[in-house]
Structure formats: structure tokens, C-alpha cells
Amino acid sequence: MTTMPTTTPSAIGQPLDRVDGRPKVTGSAHYSAEIPLPDMAYAYVVGSRIAAGRVSGIDASAATAEEGVLAVLTHENLPRIAEQPPLVPSLAGTAAPGQTYFPMQDDIVHYAGQQIALVVADTWERAQHAAHLLRVSYEETAPVTTLDQGRDRAYVPERIFGGWIPGRIERGDVEAGLRDADVRVEGTYTYAANHHNPIEPSSTTALWDGDTLLLYDSTQGVNATQMTVSRLLGVPMQRIRVIGHYAGGSFGCKAMIHAHPTLAAMAAREVGRPVKLALTREQMFTSVGHREEQEQHVTLGATREGRLTAIRHHKLSPTSPFDDWAEPSLGTSSQIYACPHYEGVYRLFRANTMTPTFMRAPGEASGMHALECAMDELAHELGVDPVELRLRNHTDVDAMSGFPWSSSGLRECYERGARRFGWSGRDPRPAMRREGDWLIGTGMATATYPVAPLANPQRARARLYADGTAVVQAATPDFGTGVATVMTQVAADGLGMSVERCRFENGDTDLPNIAAAVGSAGAGMISAAVHSAATALRGQLVNKAVADAGSPLHGADPVDVVVRDGVMTAGTASEAYTDLLRRNVQPDAEALGQWNPPAHDIPYGMMTFGAQFAEVAVDAELGLVRVRRMTGAFAPGRVLNAKTARSQLMGGMLWGLGQALLEANHMAPDTGRWANSSLAEYLVAVNADAPDVDVELIEVEDDIVNPLGVKGVGEIGQVGVAAAIANAVHHATGRRVRKLPITIEDLL
């Protein structure tokens, strides 16, 4: 590890307002479907009506006869792809297709909504209208889409999740552990499929200039788009530039590079005009992945004193015909409690679905629900307080690898969360508290989310101009997390300048490479690169000053130099950056920063921890559950911006509420189509559902994960919320509902 000048954080951690707040609320921030280009054409995607079979014919005569229609592309005339890259999570920093299947290469239909045609016209309305005039005929076969249809044909995959995770995880002898247990609890948990539904549907605008391609893409990683489209089209990287300054939320549906950016590029080449391709809200349900419907089975064994002897955690879920994908729901249950025997097994079956994908807290959102509901049952069975049960099974090492945590803070999360919530003195008996028609209950759960393992170096560039303003650059887009704001703060502290004089420039593949900001890794990896670039530039300037006979700092030891507000000071001597550059007639100074992530085999467990508490009111007669308040205590390492971090955690907790009580898409078993693909029928929490949300931040130091010790806040806020709510529903009513979402009919 290289030594860097030490930083005195003054901007980091401050609740700085979003630097892009004004452009966003005034509309001057241009999203990828808002780029005005002359001679623009518009592509409309046509999805398959059927879920299984083949397209036997597409009569495009009526569509092509419409005024303004430029092209109708189908499997018969869409260019073949150059190469199908393998499915690898975009965090790896390589090509990252959402699935190892590209549409319109043949006539087979694998799932409903699969792209079967692309209509390009001179206006969006004409493209849409012409698309409805296509006469598509199908040969239909019976689809397989639901757990009940696929259960009998399930298999244990060798690896899942783009090859990153084994299909079976074991330690000890789980049978023996269960045999030795004094107490066992066991339950089957079912989960509806979930869709991300960011406010901005995915969109790409494609522009060819000769054989050079420019894409404006709403994505979590412009480099990922560049690499994926390059491989699929066979166009060299040097001829593809991707810009994605803003994205209106993602939650994982823009983490992988789905087909539409490549389709937009193909269409633009075909019609010789720039093409804008924007997915409709309905198409978002079949084009960018989802969290798969699933069933989990958890068995816990414990001693009478409440020490776990065995955890068995199995999962069954549908995957696509192309990929072995399951969100990794079983990972953290093997790691976070001291327990000698563990068995986790994934079972998959091939179904008529696209490959599911990352969705906020992929794996943990469901897996920690099952585990933490089972822990609540165990606490109830043993007569031990739920917080106390977790403390009795607390581990200071990763229970799977045996390595110590790089940092934890979990005990403090339990303690401070419980104190803020008012947990102590809780009467554990269910169905004892009533206010009018409402039964009141409280519940809690542990939250954990892994610090994502990174593969490749992350880079940023810092440039100081002679007028004392600085630009710091990295390729990452800001998809709503506030990364442009916090990186301005990191840059300011690294340079020793005020945030007003620093500007963070991002969202362009011409800038230094950053992997896609997924898996809560964005803040950690980008801050590492930005910090590295900023401190390298500061070091360069300090070294220049002390070596410069004309500088008041001449001869000072660089380690004695501190920089504040752009002024270098050693003892009583000082000089501003601007004076140094002007005296040397130097227009600017620049440094590249690179951060090499820790090796995959370092002897540490890396995990973010938290604790969730919820109070619910249940109208047991009408089956209504309303959450009255929630407290979440989290230890996300260093907090770069108290305001944006708190907002993200609060948003995560409200996502957890939605997962617990509202969010579900249902597959119609006969047709293999999603039954509620609209925001009227796919329910997400609205303001009226949102209770008081109390977020407690517990800063823990961590010098293993990355230079600033940032563990991330993107997903941890959601983990455990659904379990805390389900456990509170049990406390209120005495009923265990082992399914998500918990809806009215479950409680009648």
C-alpha cells in the first residue's frame, strides 16, 4: 500500500446539499432520453405476446406503409451480433450483459415481452402507432413460469449469479447439528417477484458519426455499457463513447447492460439517423430484469440457552433458459451468526422468463427476511428477547471463513437502535396491546450487506487551474445516489480546498475508468479513486513548492505542510496554490489517481451491519397492516455526507416496507405473462404509507475496505426491514405470515 498525505476531513461528512439539485429541479439536467439531436428518429420496441413458442410470421406491410416509418427490424433483418459476452456482474468491470441471450437472432420466443421487433419512425408517436399495426403470428407452446410448475424439474446449479457463487455452501454436519439441538424451528417462506420501477424508465440515444458511436445511456456504469455494446456489435472500444450524466434511479435494473442500448445503436446504423429508444413503463417489467419469485426453507437448531447449533437454508427459484441466476439469498445466513453447522442449497428450474437481475439488496432482502423471521420464532420458542438471542449468537469473525470482520459495529447498532426505539421492557407476549380497532406490535431484525469484492483498479483524475479552481473527474454516472455531491466533498478534502472551488465531472467514458457503481460499492470505490487523485495532486503541488527557491515554503519538509482553502502552510510560512502556479507561469497541474482494491483472499470478512426496529398497527378484522414507526441503526463505515447517506438509508427502509406489505408482481400461470405491469397495479409505498423513519448512524473505522473506510449505504437500509415488520405483525396478532408481501387475505 502506498502512503499518501494525511487528510483532515472538513468537507467529508458534512450534510452538503446536492450539487446537482438545482439543475434537476429546474429541468436543465438532461437525462438520456432528453438529448436534443437534429434529425432524431425514434425506436419503439415490440414485445412478444406469448411466453413460449416461436414467431411464425410478422406482416409489417401496414406498419411500413405509415407515414414517417423508417424501418421495421425483426429476427429476419436485424443484424446478427458479433459475439455474446458471458454474464458477469458489472462490478467486475468487464462486459456485463443482463443475460446471455440477444433478441431477434432467431424466431424462438423464450418469455413474454421478449423483443421481437423494433419500429423506427420520425416521431415517437408514429413509431408507437406503426408498432401496433404489425401483424404477428405465433406458434404457441405451454409456458413454465411459476414455482409450482417448475418444482419437480429443479436442479442444483454448480454456480449462480454470473458464476460468482457456488450453488451449495456447507460447513460441519447440519444433520448432526439439528440432531443435537434442544429446540428446532422450521418454516417455508415465499416471495413474490419484484420489479425495480425507478422513476426514469431506461433509455438510450444513439448517434453514429461514420464508424464512431456515441451513446447517451441511463446506466449505473457507462464503461459497462461501452464494453458490452463493443462486444455485441464488434465495434472497437476506441470507437464507442458513452455518456450518462444522470439516471433517474435504478435500484439494479440499470446495473447490467440489457439489450436496448445495442438495439438503439443497431437501429441508428440502419436508418442513418440518431435514434432514441425509450422503454415504456410496461416494457420496464419485461426488459431489464427483476427479483425472481422464490421460496426459501429455513431450519434452525439451538440449545436451550439459545445458541445456534445448525442453520439449514434452501431456496427454489425460476431462472431463464440461458443463465443459472438466483439472487444470493443464502450468503449472509452462513456468515453472521456463530453456528458450527451450516447448509445452504440453491435449486433452480428453467422457466419462460428473462434472466432475473440485481435488485436492491439482491439476496439479502429476501434471505435475511427468512433467517430473521426464523430467529424471531426461535426467540419466541425459547422465551428469550429477540435482541438478546442475536447477541448470544454474535460473532466477531465471519462464521463461514473464520476471518475477523474488517469492522463491525453490530453490537452498537443493536444497543443504540433498541434505545432510540424504546425496545427495552417490551412485553414479548403476542396480541396483548390494542388501541381501538388496532392491535399494536413491535419487531426487530439484523441487517447485513456484504462489502462487495472488486476486481479491477479504479481511477480518477484531478486538475487544478491557476485561478484556484479544480475539476476532478471519473467516469461514473450519478443515478440519484448523490455521488457527484459526495465526490466533490472528497475531492475538496483531498486537495485541501473548499467545496465551492471544486467541481466533480462524471458520467462519460472519456473520463478515467470506474466499474459500474453497484452492490453499494460506488461510494467506497469512487471515493478511493478520487481521494487518490486529489491527494496525489496536492502532493505534487506541495513537492513543487518546497523545491521552488521562489516559494516561502522552500526547503520545508513536505510532511509538515498542511493545506487549507488552497493555501499550503508549514509553520509560519505559507503560499497559495494559485501563487505557486502563477509564479511558475503554469496554467494548471494534474494528477491521475488509482486505487487497487484489496485482494479477494485477504484474511478479513467484509460486511456492513445494522439493526432494524418496527412498530405496526394491525386492524385484524379488516386485515390491514400499517407501519407506525421504524428505527434503523447502521454502521456503514465512514459517512461521506450525513444528509445523502441518511436519505439513502431512509429510502432503503421504505423499500423494505414496500417489500413487506405491497410489492408483488404475479405471473398468470396459463399465459406466462406478468399480471400487474403498471404503477397502478404494482404497488409501491406512497407518502401515506410512510411512517416516521428514524435513522441512526454509527461510524466505525475500517482501514481494510478502502482508503476512507466507506462501506456503503445503498442497500443496507432495506435489509431486515421486512423481517422486523413481519415479526411485529406476529407480536401484534400472534400470527406468523411466512410470505411477502403480507396482504389483507393473509390476516383475515
Partner 1 sequence: MRPITYLRATDTASAVTAVSTDPTSDFLAGGTTEVDLLRQNVLNPRRLVDINDLPLTDVEGTPAGGVRIGALARMSDVAADPVVRERFPLIAQALELGASAQLRNMASMGGNLLQRVRCSYFRDAESPCNKREPGTGCSAVEGFSRGHAVLGTSEHCIATHPSDVAVALVALDAQVRTTGPHGERTYAIDDFFLLPGDSPHREHPLEHGELITGIEVPATPVARHSHYLKVRDRASYEFALVSVAAALSVVDGVIADVRMALGGVATKPWRARRAEDFLIGARVQRDDFAMAARVEMADARPTPMNAFKVELAQRAIVRVLDLLSDGTGDGSEPGPGAGSPS
Determine which one of 270, 377, 575, 715 is catalytic: 715
Q: Does residue 623 bind partner 1 (CB under 8 A)?
A: yes
Q: Which stretch binds partner 1 (CB under 8 A): 206-214, 521-529, 618-626, 699-707?
A: 618-626
- Taking CB under 8 A as the criterion, the residue among 86, 234, 422, 587 binding partner 1 is 422
Q: Which stretch binds partner 1 (CB under 8 A): 17-25, 225-233, 579-587, 625-633?
A: 625-633
Question: 176 in helix, strand or coil?
Answer: helix
Phi/psi of residue 53, each to 5°? 135, -145
Min separation Cβ 5 and partner 1, Å: 47
Q: How far apart are the first and last CA of the chain?
A: 60
Min separation Cβ 62 and partner 1, Å: 12
Min separation Cβ 423 and partner 1, Å: 7
CB atoms within 10 A of CB 147: 19
C-beta closer to partner 1: residue 329 or 442: 442
Q: Which stretch binds partner 1 (CB under 8 A): 158-166, 462-470, 533-541, 616-624?
A: 616-624
C-beta closer to partner 1: residue 48 or 489: 48
In whole angstroms, give the CA distance from residue 484 to residue 725: 34
Burial level of 410, CB count in 10 A (0-12/13-18/19+)?
buried
C-beta closer to partner 1: residue 113 or 450: 113
In single-letter form, the type of residue at position 656 comes to G
C-alpha cell at 80: 446478427
C-alpha cell at 725: 415488520
What is the biggest distance separating any 2 CA atoms in the chain, rounded to whole angstroms?
84
Burial level of 25, CB count in 10 A (0-12/13-18/19+)?
exposed
Q: Does residue 681 bind partner 1 (CB under 8 A)?
A: yes
C-beta closer to partner 1: residue 4 or 683: 683
Q: Does residue 666 bind partner 1 (CB under 8 A)?
A: yes
C-beta closer to partner 1: residue 42 or 342: 42
Phi/psi of residue 98, each to 5°? -65, -25
CA angle 388, 389, 390 (to 5 degrees): 90
Q: Does residue 501 bind partner 1 (CB under 8 A)?
A: no
Q: Does residue 56 bind partner 1 (CB under 8 A)?
A: no
**By CB under 8 A, how many residues form the interface with partner 1?**
53
Q: Does residue 199 bind partner 1 (CB under 8 A)?
A: no
Length of the chain in residues, anyone? 748
Residue 261 contacts residue 205 (beta carbons within 8 Å): no
> Which of 299, 221, 270, 294 has its CA nearest to residue 525?
221
Q: Does residue 193 bind partner 1 (CB under 8 A)?
A: no
C-beta closer to partner 1: residue 512 or 658: 658
> Which of 611, 653, 618, 631 has its CA nearest to residue 735?
618
Q: Does residue 628 bind partner 1 (CB under 8 A)?
A: yes
In whole angstroms, give the CA distance from residue 536 to residue 580: 17
Partnered with residue 143 across adjacent β-strands are: none
C-beta closer to partner 1: residue 61 or 586: 61
Percent helix, percent strand, percent coil in the chain, to nearest 5: 25, 30, 45
- Taking CB under 8 A as the criterion, the residue among 40, 156, 440, 650 binding partner 1 is 440
Residue span 392-421 as binding mask against partner 1, x where in contact by CB under 8 A, dash where not: -----------------------------x
Question: 234 in helix, strand or coil?
Answer: coil
> Which of 97, 189, 334, 84 has its CA nearest to residue 742?
189
Q: Which stretch binds partner 1 (CB under 8 A): 74-82, 234-242, 295-303, 438-446?
A: 438-446
C-alpha cell at 232: 455485441
Q: Does residue 128 bind partner 1 (CB under 8 A)?
A: yes
Residue span 629-658 as binding mask against partner 1, x where in contact by CB under 8 A, dash where not: x-----------------------------
Q: Does residue 691 bind partner 1 (CB under 8 A)?
A: yes
Is 388 labeled as catalytic in the residue annotation? no
Would you give the DSSP letter of residue 424?
T
Q: Does residue 59 bind partner 1 (CB under 8 A)?
A: no
Q: Which stretch binds partner 1 (CB under 8 A): 216-224, 323-331, 507-515, 684-692?
A: 684-692
Question: 71 in helix, strand or coil?
Answer: strand
Residue 376 contacts residue 185 (beta carbons within 8 Å): no
Partnered with residue 440 across adjacent β-strands are: 617
C-beta closer to partner 1: residue 491 or 693: 693
Min separation Cβ 683 and partner 1, Å: 5
Q: Does residue 722 bind partner 1 (CB under 8 A)?
A: no
C-alpha cell at 705: 475496505
> Which of 169, 177, 446 has its CA nearest to residue 302?
177
Q: Does residue 337 bind partner 1 (CB under 8 A)?
A: no
Q: Does residue 675 bind partner 1 (CB under 8 A)?
A: yes
Strand bridging mode 212-217 / 240-243: parallel
Q: Which stretch binds partner 1 (CB under 8 A): 161-169, 309-317, 433-441, 462-470?
A: 433-441
Min separation Cβ 126 and partner 1, Å: 9
- Taking CB under 8 A as the criterion, the residue among 671, 735, 736, 739 binding partner 1 is 671
Q: Does residue 423 bind partner 1 (CB under 8 A)?
A: yes
Residue span 108-127 as binding mask against partner 1, x where in contact by CB under 8 A, dash where not: -----------------x--
Residue 252 contacts residue 517 (beta carbons within 8 Å): no
- Taking CB under 8 A as the criterion, the residue among 138, 191, 438, 634 binding partner 1 is 438
- Taking CB under 8 A as the criterion, the residue among 394, 411, 426, 736 binding partner 1 is 426
C-alpha cell at 281: 413503463
C-beta closer to partner 1: residue 124 or 208: 124
Residue 355 contacts residue 325 (beta carbons within 8 Å): yes
> Which of 491, 495, 477, 499 has its CA nearest to residue 528?
491
- Tally the C-alpha atoms within 13 A of residue 75's C-alpha that lie toward its C-beta: 19
Residue 616 contacts residue 562 (beta carbons within 8 Å): no
Min separation Cβ 321 and partner 1, Å: 23
Cα 204–chain centre separation = 20
Q: Does residue 237 bind partner 1 (CB under 8 A)?
A: no
C-beta closer to partner 1: residue 25 or 622: 622
Residue 530 contacts residue 491 (beta carbons within 8 Å): yes
C-beta closer to partner 1: residue 154 or 624: 624
Residue span 35-54 as binding mask against partner 1, x where in contact by CB under 8 A, dash where not: --------------x-----
> Which of 329, 247, 316, 242 has its CA nearest to residue 288?
247
Q: Which residues bind partner 1 (CB under 8 A)?
A: 49, 125, 128-129, 132, 421-423, 425-426, 433, 435-438, 440, 442, 615, 617, 619, 621-624, 626, 628-629, 661-662, 666, 668, 670-671, 673, 675-678, 680-681, 683, 685-689, 691-692, 741, 743-745, 748
User: Which residues are marked as active site?
Assistant: 715
